[in-house]
Amino acid sequence: MLTIGRLASYAGVTVRAVRHYHQIGLLPEPERDSSGYRSYGATAVVSLIRIRTLADAGVPLSQISSLLDADEATFAAAVQRIDDRLSSEITRLETSRRQIARLAAGDSMALPPEVVAYLRRLREIGASDRIVDGERGGWILMAARWPDEVRKWMPAKFAELEDPRMVRLYRILSEVHDAATVDEALLEEVADIMVALLQEAYEAGVVVSEDDLSHHLLDSLADEADPRAATLRALLRKRGWASWTRQHPLPDRAS
């Protein structure tokens, strides 16, 4: 006969675990002997080893009791269900590990690698950290709304950065965004460049989603980052365009 300590040691668990199994009714608790001690026989050792084996395999304690008394077919079916659950959990954890690895590398968990590379390219052409942070927020909104389409857009976005006007646009925006005071001349230049690019895209038949909520969120994000975004939109409207995000002419101009 074994003490609880020797039982736990033989089965490879802690005394605390044995007491917990007693408490939840998983392992029968023997009566105390005349000396006031509880002693365990071979049956308890076998039961405890089986409990430990199932628990180590990931079987929830709440399901172990039914498995201990199950016939072969019932046991196999239950184990298969548990295996399916564990497979799903492994897939989830592997996805989490990939996201953590991307975070450790300085990437954003909310963005696909193509967008992260695009943001890196913006820095290379001279965009400031504040502008890149603003772009990142916008792409997070778009990736959430159009998760499958975002990757398809990126080759065209990279191609845009080969246009000297686009490079100039990001550099001026960086200068404006980082300045303490408004430089009206720079804002006018930004509006002129934007209008020229918008006009070319419109004439080329580039289709932009009419999702009003997403466009509203993008405009709001720019406003929250810098109040001068509203001034820039006013300059675009003055030139006949709705905004940089909506990318279509106002009705009067389109007609």
- Tens digit of pLDDT for each residue in 194-235? 999 999 988 887 766 667 777 788 888 888 888 888 899 999
Mean pLDDT of 133-143: 89
178: tokens are 């980082």
pLDDT of the residue at 106: 56
What residue segments make up the domains of the chain, in order of their start? 4-102, 108-254
pLDDT of the residue at 162: 96
pLDDT of the residue at 203: 86
Whether residue 119 has pLDDT greater than 80: yes
Q: How confident is the model at residue 24 (pLDDT cuts 50, 70, 90)?
A: very high
For all residues of the chain together, what is the average pLDDT? 86
Which segments of the chain does DSSP mark as H helices, in order? 4-11, 15-23, 42-56, 61-68, 72-104, 113-124, 129-145, 149-160, 164-178, 184-203, 212-225, 228-238, 251-254
pLDDT of the residue at 207: 66
Whether residue 171 has pLDDT greater than 90: yes
Q: What is the pLDDT of residues 173-182, one digit of tens each?
A: 999 887 878 7
Whether residue 158 has pLDDT greater than 90: yes
Class of domain 4-102 (CATH, top level): mainly alpha
pLDDT of the residue at 169: 95
Whether residue 57 has pLDDT greater than 90: no
Higher pLDDT pick, 57 / 123: 123
72: tokens are 């072969």
Mean pLDDT of 103-111: 62
Q: What is the pLDDT of residues 93-103, one digit of tens each?
A: 888 877 666 66
pLDDT of the residue at 208: 65
pLDDT of the residue at 109: 58
Question: Are 243 and 236 a contacting pair, CB within 8 Å?
Answer: yes
161 closest CA partner among 215, 124, 204? 124
Percent of the chain with pLDDT over 90: 37
Q: How much is the pTM?
A: 0.57
Mean pLDDT of 162-167: 96
Q: What is the pLDDT of residues 63-91, one digit of tens each?
A: 888 888 888 888 888 888 888 888 898 89
How far apart, in Å, do the first and last CA atoms of the chain sit?
96
pLDDT of the residue at 167: 96
Mean pLDDT of 115-142: 92
Whether residue 255 has pLDDT greater than 50: no
